[in-house]
Structure 1
Amino acid sequence: MATQISVQPSAGKIGPRKHLTPQWVSLVSGGVAGGVEAAITYPFEYSKTRVQLVQHGSVARKNPFRLILDVARQEGVRSLYTGCTTLIVGTAGKAAVRFVSYDTIRNFLSDEHGKLSAGGGILAGMAAGAVESVLAVTPTERIKTALIDDAKTNRQFKSGIHAAKVLVQRQGLSELYRGLVSTTIKQSATSAVRMGTYNILKEMTKKQGIASNVFTSFGTGALAGIVTVYATQPFDTIKTRAQSVQGAGIVEAVKSLMRDYGVKGFWKGSSMRLGRLFLSGGIVFSVYEQVSGLLSPVNFD
């Protein structure tokens, strides 16, 4: 994800020239990283979504590990992976789109030494989040959320594909884009904070002379994930409410959260999301850096 520097002779002088990350490298590396991350961390996503969909007066576990154990014992381990295939495909797609968008904008905004400012990193992340929301995230999140919501009661959906067909038959193709605005806001904010924080932390480690390897990538990615959770959780909670089986508008989702739980309701499911984004931040960035390093003719630092 870094823009590289090489020394090239030019008109008798030696100066820096930044190597741009090839878009196909960003696409493949991002897709692999997203798929691996989703498969490993899905139980946390499942438990987070279950808690966010609980109505007022219902009892729900706040401890993500306890909720996961309870679901596994009462409903079977397979229940923890309800909607998993949809999320893996969607996460691989959105991560590919995110990194292509981010690296493209990063290449444009970075200076002649390949350095990206803190503001530039946030701006690139925000734009990448908006693009991935429209192209990949909203439809897959709508299906995943509907599957998890449906599994609590009726179980009318047999699979992700079946859920998509039913939803489209009921309301048309636009039904897959229910919650587009809330999802785009959430993705833009999440990507801006996550990618921006990762960029800042990575520049800090470079200044400290810390070697860039899989461990530092995992550590900085995990820290970026922690910051992202608490900074953007309200957007995620509103998005989940808006994408339940019945669906809801942003205003209705906000009102229902305030009515049921008050202001603290906007951070509902944050502990579950923390478990996932802590791991996912470390996994997705470290896998991305490793895969891109293998694919690119340039040695990534």
Structure 2
Amino acid sequence: MSSRLSPFTVTDGPCSLRSRSFLSGPVTRCVSTGAVCAAKAESDVRASSCRVLSAAAAGREKLTHPGKAILAGGIAGGIEICITFPTEYVKTQLQLDEKANPPRFKGIGDCVKLTVQDHGFKGLYRGLSSLLYGSIPKSAVRFGMFEFLSNQAKDSTGRLDNTRSLLCGLGAGVAEAILVVCPMETIKVKFIHDQNSTIPRYRGFYHGVREIIRDQGLRGTYQGLTATVLKQGSNQAIRFFVMTSLRNWYKGTDPHREMNPLLTGVFGATAGAASVFGNTPLDVIKTRMQGLEAYRYKNTLDCAYQILRNEGPLAFYKGTVPRLGRVCLDVAIVFVIYEEVVKFLNRFWKT
């Protein structure tokens, strides 16, 4: 009997198969729809690849476009400063109230009482215009620079680790210090200090800026630059480090886990408190270097030495309590508004 069988044809459904059986086994090939089967196989491979890519994309944390960060940061900064400025005013007054001279204020309550008594409630908003004009670009630069740097620093899953967030925050703080904060803070401190004079010199924002520049040039708006860079750099490094650490802890392995505004506010307040205890001494030095009596100090180091010699180490923490209240509220509000504005922008600004 021959081991080789005659060829035969089987028709089953859309594909006609011609099969030959040999001792080595059957060989089958598609006669009428080979091209269709090949195309279907290729399509299946592509679909599988798309599913893999989609799964990878789903596991990535979404990046925030720097343009969105600039716009959202500016809006958040403007709203925040209008809410919290009185605490900034009190903090600055207490930092300017030196022990070397007879102190004018007994504490926070006394500062508020005397200010309202002498200048009315609007006296607590003296210098607001300089901060309002500056807070919008300050927050815009801060968040825009942070998102730009963090987008470069994130890993393949779109996650920013804690150490890199500190460096990104440092970069954002230095940028905002040079571009916005130093001139803005110098003008604000001079305005608040001027109010303590028997006859205030500055009649308003534009008049005050004009007088400062006329007397001291543009350099007059950059007093205490070194202290400001140190303060803002450490400020944002601490804040973004704490905020990112808390966010990473909360989200765990799910980068898309939603954070409600209340939780964002609590994390922001915690980050703000950490920055206050971390760099208030630099804030005191910066304030003195930008006051109307800044001429008494040769440089930032000399200012720190004189404060230590004349007033003791506790003087480096003057204004901590009002600053703590202001900064915790400030950072909480800014992060909440920022996150919500970004969510809103994502609805129609596709990047």
Partner residue, 1:277: 327
* Residues 101 and 76 of structure 1, relative CA distance in 2, 3 Å threshold: same
- Following the alignment from structure 1 to structure 2, what is the Cα–Cα distance between the partners of residues 286 and 108? 24
Could you say if the C-alpha distance between residues 172 and 129 of structure 1 is closer, same or farther in structure 2, counting changes exceeding 3 Å? same
1:260 aligns with 2:295: no
**Where do 1:93-132 residues align within 5 Å?**
93-132=137-176
Residue in 2 aligned with 1:175?
Answer: 220
**Aligned sequence identity (%):** 32
Q: Superposed, which structure 2 residues align to 1:196-211 within 5 Å?
A: 196-207=241-252, 211=258
CA distance in 2, matches of 1:49, 1:138: 15
Counterpart contact for 1:18–1:112, Cα < 8 Å: no
The answer to whether the 8 A contact 1:44-1:64 is kept is: no
Q: 1:47 touches 1:272 (CA, 8 Å); kept in 2?
A: yes
- 1:295 paired residue number: 345
Partner of 2:77: 34
Instruction: Show the counterpart of 1:83.
Output: 127
Tell me the CA shift for residue 66 of structure 1.
4.6
| 1:161 to partner: Cα distance | 1.8
Alpha-carbon distance in 2 for matches of 1:71, 1:283: 26
Q: Which runs of 5+ in 2 are unaligned?
A: 1-46
Give the distance between the partners of 2:246 and 2:210, measured in 1 at CA: 43
- Distance verdict in 2 for CA 1:12–1:78, change over 3 Å: closer
Say whether the 8 Å CA contact 1:106–1:116 is kept in structure 2.
yes
Q: Tell me how far apart the structure 2 counterparts of residues 230 and 213 of structure 1 sit (CA, whole Å).
A: 27
Answer whether contact 2:90 2:108 (CA < 8 A) is retained: yes
Q: TM-score, normalised by structure 2?
A: 0.78
The equivalent of 2:283 in structure 1 is 236
CA contact (8 A) 1:22 1:296 kept: no
For the residue of structure 1 that corresponds to 2:177, the secondary structure is helix
Q: How far has the Cα of 1:211 moved from its partner?
A: 4.5
Structure 1 residue 65: Cα displacement: 4.5
> Hey, what's the Cα distance between the residues in 1 that align with 2:95 and 2:183?
19
Q: In the TM superposition, what is the alpha-carbon distance from 1:64 to its structure 2 partner?
A: 3.0
Question: Which structure ranks higher in relative contact order (CA pairs < 8 Å, sequence separation ≥ 6)?
Answer: 1
Task: Name the count of aligned residue pairs.
Answer: 292
What is the one-letter code of the residue matched to 1:13? Answer: V
Comparing 13-22 with 269-278, greater Cα deviation is found at 13-22
- Correspondent of 2:185 among 128, 137, 141: 141
CA distance, structure 1, for counterparts of residue 196 and residue 149 of structure 2: 42
Summarize the Cα distance change of 1:123–1:164 in structure 2 as closer, same or farther, 3 Å threshold: same
- 1:13 and 2:40 aligned: no
Map of 2:90 onto structure 1: 47
Q: 1:31 touches 1:92 (CA, 8 Å); kept in 2?
A: yes
TM-score by length of 1: 0.91
Secondary structure (helix, strand or coil) at the match of 1:20 reads coil
Whole-angstrom CA distance in 2 between matches of 1:212 and 1:65: 36
